[in-house]
A = this chain, B = another copy of it.
Amino acid sequence: MTKTQITPTKLTHVQCAECPIRHRAVCARCESDELDKLEEIKYYRSFQAGQTVVWSGDRMDFVASVVSGIATLTQTMEDGRRQMVGLLLPSDFVGRPGRETAAYDVVATTDLVMCCFRKKPFEDVMATTPHVGQRLLEMTLDELDAAREWMLLLGRKTAREKIASLIAIIARRDASLRHEKSEGRVIVDLPLTREAMSEYLGLTLETVSRQISALRKDGIIEIEGKRHIIIPDFERLVEEAGDDSDGGFLV
């Protein structure tokens, strides 16, 4: 996975107007004059699956939106214990205006394309026009809600509930990107290795594997290959996750 990949297409400058994440990203609310400013300071960067985008503590002189692919935010303790603290899907934002260094490791889980903005000019845009800051606030509040949802999972859910929750969340976000609803029979590709899942869920890789097997034996999910998952009845999966039946608090 690390070296067999060819270098992905260098998308050096897609016009914002044609951007696939135009309506969801940090630029969603921008007027055309604001877009022009962003257009000037933006540049694309591509990463191969497995590559690290930035290391925690490193200087980071840009902020960015995920255009395509998936990245993870991970925190590491001195002795090597790792906890994923964020999963970045297309349109999600990375980096913090006003901060010099990265607070987390950012790793490309799949091949990844990011739309980067040099930090200083980006901060200027935020200071002089309102819509980027407004949208960023909205997105940050959403992320905070998601982080708190995850705190409940980490603190109080069983291993089985954690796995069911993760699959349900990925299925929901996946469907939402395609403007579909998650119900009845649902099919997902897990974009994460068992190890990455364990880092997200606060479990070991072995426990993740065992619980996935258990869910399969109980008919909650079917598995083809390693990553391709069929959920015959989404509502049943959600029950296993221990969530309120309605589940999604966000659109």
Give residues in A with beta carbon < 8 Å to B.
73, 75, 77-79, 81-83, 85-86, 96, 98, 103-104, 130, 133-134, 136-138, 140-141, 143-145, 147-152, 154-156, 201-202, 242-244, 249
B242 A152 Cβ-Cβ under 8 A: no
Shortest CB-to-CB span from A137 to chain B, Å, is 5
A249 B103 Cβ-Cβ under 8 A: yes
B154 A202 Cβ-Cβ under 8 A: yes
A73 contacts across to B, CB distance below 8 A: 148
Shortest CB-to-CB span from A102 to chain B, Å, is 12
List 6 extra interface pairs beyond A77-B242, A85-B148, A154-B154, CB under 8 A. Answer: A82-B156, A130-B133, A133-B137, A144-B144, A147-B148, A154-B202
Known contacts being A98-B138, A103-B145, A137-B136, is A155 close to B78, with CB within 8 Å? no
Beta-carbon nearest neighbor of A245 in chain B = B78
B148 A242 Cβ-Cβ under 8 A: no
B81 A156 Cβ-Cβ under 8 A: yes
From A85, A104, A242, name the one whose CB has the most chain B CB atoms within 10 angstroms: A85
Number of copies: 2
A137 to B150, CA, bound (A): 21
A79 contacts across to B, CB distance below 8 A: 242
A249 to B130, CA, bound (A): 28
A168 to B44, CA, bound (A): 42
B145 A244 Cβ-Cβ under 8 A: no
A77 to B150, CA, bound (A): 13
A218 to B201, CA, bound (A): 32
Shortest CB-to-CB span from A86 to chain B, Å, is 7
Shortest CB-to-CB span from A208 to chain B, Å, is 13
A140 contacts across to B, CB distance below 8 A: 137, 140-141, 144
B148 A104 Cβ-Cβ under 8 A: yes
Can you show 27 pairs from A to B with CB atoms below 8 A apart? Answer: A73-B148, A75-B149, A77-B156, A77-B243, A78-B242, A81-B156, A82-B156, A83-B152, A83-B155, A83-B156, A85-B148, A85-B151, A96-B141, A103-B145, A103-B148, A104-B148, A133-B133, A140-B140, A140-B141, A143-B144, A147-B148, A147-B151, A151-B154, A154-B155, A154-B202, A155-B201, A155-B202
A96 contacts across to B, CB distance below 8 A: 141
Beta-carbon nearest neighbor of A130 in chain B = B130
A85 contacts across to B, CB distance below 8 A: 148, 151-152
